[in-house]
Structure 1
Amino acid sequence: MRTRLAIKLDAILEPWFPERRLFLRSDSDTRFIRLRPATQLIAFAGSASVVAWAIVATAILLMDSIGSGNFREQAKRDQRVYENRLNLLAEERDTRAAEAMAAQNRFNLALDQISDMQSQLLASEIARAELETGIEVIQSNLRDTMDQRDEARGRLAVMQQIGDPLGQNRKVEGSDDTLDFMVAALADTAAERDQILADAKQALKDAEDLEFQIKLMEDQNDQIFRQLEDAMTISVEPLDKMFRAAGLSTKSLIDQVRSNHDGQGGPLMPMSFSTKGEEPSADELRANRILRQLDHLNLYRIAASKAPFAKPVKDAVRFTSGFGYRRDPKTGGRRLHKGADFAGPTGTPIYSTADGVIVHAGWSSGYGRLIKIQHEFGIETRYAHLSKIRVKVGQRVSRGQRIGDMGNTGRSTGTHLHYEVRVGGKPANPMIYIKAANDVF
């Protein structure tokens, strides 16, 4: 029996929702279903609620997709800016290294020139001392000769008194010739001495000029070293921060990379300036320190390419679930979610997040189509629920290489990528690695 309230409600709704009858005819009978105004109102409200929900959900999805796309584009722009910055720093570093080597060569050449000038100056001093000794000998001989001349003149006066002027004149003429020769030799020696003194003064002036040039080169070398040290700090610190943020031991990573790249003479072989068995100078120590930092930076870059610091999806996707315990979408129970989920259209490209080797490429129960990649440092990444696999077991892949397409296979409620990172066989939060690389890649 219909209640009075229902009858009154139908009467009120009658102008907007008049009573309708839905006839159902069969071969032997005809039946109808009565649609009262209240029933029609409930159906209309339910349909309106469904339509409103669909509009709101679509708007939320569109806003989320637009926001993810903007974030992804910003991340790409930041990555390109940082890559360009790294390339410019690498070029400047190489240029500064070449300038440092050229400056070191010029410095060594200047030292050799100074050494030669000092040798010449020492030889000039020795020659001057020898000439001074020779001049003293000549002056002694000259005094003796002058004494002999005076003595000869005295004897001449005596001989003139006794009547033998011719023989004495011959003796005096001989003494005058000897004296003229000694005076001429003394003048030549004095001129040679003056020339040696002038050469010595010029050598001292050249040595002062070379010392000034060496000072300028030292200042230029110091500026080059400072720029190289700043470039090394700017290049190494972000990489070091990235590894530490991911919870990786930088020392063990560097040791492992160095052990795998220990060939002699390769790009990882550090250079060093020879000190020729002497104590190294401050510039040599500084240059060797910069070269060790260059080697450290190369090792860091190799390690970064072998650890999963990249994103598995480059297109605009929606982050739907993170790492940790959550309600299971199938059973409703509490369960550990061992990775991160990224939702997007079917066929969205999936990329390897680091260099490695494919160890599994096929079906795996709840994972559906699954790819496993073994990386260095005991790290493994997994890519699940794929619609298509583009690699084979044993194949080596590089970071950024396409390995499959997003799908909805296996134990999945919709199209998405389930991405895992395992270290030593234990699951780790993939977002730690992705967020750690945001400031670098």
Structure 2
Amino acid sequence: MRSRFTARFHALLERLFPERRLFLRSDSETRFIRLTSETQLVAWTGGILVVGWMIVATAILLMDSIGAGNFRAQAQRDQMTYEQRLNVLSAERDARAVEAASAHERFNSALEQISIMQSELLVTEEKRRELERGLEVVQATLRDTMRAREEARAQVAALNAQDDGDAAASISDEAVGTVDLLATALAETAQERDQIASDAAYAIELAEEMQLELRLLQERNDQIFRQLEEAMLVSVEPLDQMFRAAGMNPDNLIDQVRRGYSGTGGPLTPIQFSTRGESPDPDALRANAILTAMDRINLYRIAAEKAPFAIPVKSNFRFTSGFGQRWGRLHAGTDFAGPIGTPIYATADGVITHAGWSSGYGRLIKIRHDFGIETRYAHLNSMDVRVGQRVSRGDRIGAMGNSGRSTGPHLHYEVRVNGNPVNPMIYIRAGRDVF
């Protein structure tokens, strides 16, 4: 059975691939190469495999080229999107800076107005007290005059009672003079009474006018305080939210910054209350609350400069790899890809603790910040700082490169808190609406 199948298969091959002979002639002899059906089948199969492999390889290359083109187009679109976003963030940052400067000017103007109004209030209070003392003197004088007038009337009545019939002739010249003197005193007393009554009415009218002026001044103070309180609320809330979004406790940060900046005095010194045992002035309490908010904003500003809320690359770039697991290992930072030589900037105030080669990191810069934070800048092409140097946020520290274990020019940026890596985008996103 097997030989019959073999014979049929051989006959089929003979029909498809008849035996051929390839003659090779030379000057002295002639040779030929016999190409059997099996040999032709093997050669034909090998040719088909080679052609098929070439087709598949060409298709793979074309697909890879098309995919690379799509990737480049997507990268360009992502770059344009990030540039637009950065432009919007830059415009918002400039607008916030203008608003902050305007708010600071308004606050300084308000402080000047508050100082002027406090001076006016002190002058008004002094005038009111003088008027009260004047009214007391006038009332005392009026009471004494009324008492003297009543005594004079009593004396006149007594003299009139003694003047009956024949006794009138015995009145001495001295009594007549006394009566005339009393009459003159009564007339002067009446005139003084009228003048005192007129002065008292004028004093009361003046006091009412001063009370009205004082009430208007208090209403104006209240309006100014409301505007300042609203400005402080609008200024403090974004900063407070920024620190909370970064996972930082604002109260603890404020305490740490305050311990480092513990000096007192100057324009933000709280307003002192009276030492005469009087209750605190509500306006003084509100002014101290505003000064406390201003002090908190200033401490927030100091803390923000010491935390990495800025972005290390300001030129055109694209994100190539984020924080998290990659190929079964933790990628402890964020990668920013760009041309070699792209400037790299410090994201917060701090001290350079390392500036040199570090195995897989290549050229590496480490910056120690406050609050237990450290930032790392790896794969650099060049470094512009040295160990021990203090840098501020926005200072250029190096240039992007491809040193160390890297597949292309990019910056590997890390943020570590107490030695533990955290996602740098937490800080960058938190500061996006403020800086």
Coarse TM-score class (shorter-chain normalised): 0.7 to 0.9
Correspondence 1:303 to 2:303 = yes
Other structure's SS at 1:414 match: coil
Correspondence 1:74 to 2:73 = no
Number of positions where the alignment pairs a residue of Structure 1 with one of Structure 2: 390
CA deviation profile, 1:234-291 (whole Å, cap 9, x unmatched): 0111111111111111121111101001113257x64223222322132222222222
Correspondence 1:282 to 2:282 = yes
Equivalence for 2:424: 430
Other structure's SS at 1:301 match: helix
Correspondence 1:272 to 2:271 = yes
Going from structure 1 to structure 2, the CA distance change for 1:377 and 1:51 (only over 3 Å counts) comes to closer
Equivalence for 1:398: 392
Other structure's SS at 1:359 match: strand
Equivalent residue runs for 1:46-61 within 5 Å: 48-49=62-63, 51-61=65-75
Equivalent residue runs for 1:33-182 within 5 Å: 45=59, 48-49=62-63, 51-147=65-161, 150=163, 154-155=166-167, 174-182=174-182
Equivalence for 2:199: 199
Equivalence for 1:410: 404
CA contact (8 A) 1:346 1:406 kept: yes
Other structure's SS at 2:232 match: helix
Q: CA deviation at 1:344?
A: 0.7
Equivalence for 2:362: 368
CA contact (8 A) 2:362 2:378 kept: yes
Equivalent residue runs for 1:180-219 within 5 Å: 180-219=180-219
Supply the AA of the counterpart residue of 1:391.
V
Equivalence for 1:440: 434
Supply the AA of the counterpart residue of 1:110.
T
CA contact (8 A) 2:400 2:411 kept: yes
Unaligned runs of 5+ in 2: 1-12, 18-46
CA contact (8 A) 2:96 2:434 kept: yes
Supply the AA of the counterpart residue of 2:135.
L
Supply the AA of the counterpart residue of 2:82.
S
Q: CA deviation at 1:40?
A: 7.6
For the aligned residues, what is the CA RMSD? 2.5
Q: Distance in 1 between matches of 2:80 and 2:246?
A: 29
Q: Distance in 2 between matches of 1:143 and 1:156?
A: 15
Equivalent residue runs for 1:229-268 within 5 Å: 229-265=229-265
Supply the AA of the counterpart residue of 2:398.
G
CA contact (8 A) 2:376 2:415 kept: yes
Unaligned runs of 5+ in 1: 8-33, 158-167, 328-333
Supply the AA of the counterpart residue of 1:226.
R
Equivalence for 2:224: 224
Q: CA deviation at 1:91?
A: 1.8
Other structure's SS at 2:329 match: strand
CA deviation profile, 1:293-315 (whole Å, cap 9, x unmatched): 11111111111111111111111
Going from structure 1 to structure 2, the CA distance change for 1:106 and 1:244 (only over 3 Å counts) comes to same
Worse-matched range after superposition: 56-65 or 106-115: 56-65
CA deviation profile, 1:191-213 (whole Å, cap 9, x unmatched): 01111111111111111111111
Worse-matched range after superposition: 406-415 or 81-90: 81-90
Supply the AA of the counterpart residue of 1:230.
E
Q: Distance in 1 between matches of 2:73 and 2:396?
A: 31
CA contact (8 A) 2:334 2:414 kept: yes
Q: CA deviation at 1:420?
A: 0.7
Supply the AA of the counterpart residue of 2:404.
G
Supply the AA of the counterpart residue of 1:198.
S
Going from structure 1 to structure 2, the CA distance change for 1:200 and 1:293 (only over 3 Å counts) comes to same
CA contact (8 A) 1:270 1:292 kept: no
Other structure's SS at 1:440 match: coil
Q: Distance in 1 between matches of 2:401 and 2:99?
A: 37
Q: Distance in 2 between matches of 1:395 and 1:266?
A: 31
Q: Distance in 2 between matches of 1:47 and 1:274?
A: 83
Q: CA deviation at 1:342?
A: 0.6
CA contact (8 A) 2:273 2:281 kept: no
Q: CA deviation at 1:340?
A: 0.6
CA contact (8 A) 1:273 1:288 kept: no
Q: CA deviation at 1:176?
A: 3.5
Other structure's SS at 1:377 match: coil
Going from structure 1 to structure 2, the CA distance change for 1:252 and 1:42 (only over 3 Å counts) comes to closer
Q: Distance in 2 between matches of 1:156 and 1:89?
A: 91
Q: CA deviation at 1:336?
A: 0.6
Other structure's SS at 2:154 match: helix
Q: Distance in 2 between matches of 1:178 and 1:46?
A: 140
Other structure's SS at 2:371 match: helix
CA contact (8 A) 1:72 1:316 kept: no
Q: CA deviation at 1:70?
A: 1.3
Q: CA deviation at 1:43?
A: 7.2
Other structure's SS at 1:65 match: helix
Q: Which of 371, 377, 398 pairs up with 1:377?
A: 371
Going from structure 1 to structure 2, the CA distance change for 1:40 and 1:431 (only over 3 Å counts) comes to closer
Q: Distance in 1 between matches of 2:210 and 2:74?
A: 75
Q: Distance in 2 between matches of 1:228 and 1:347?
A: 47
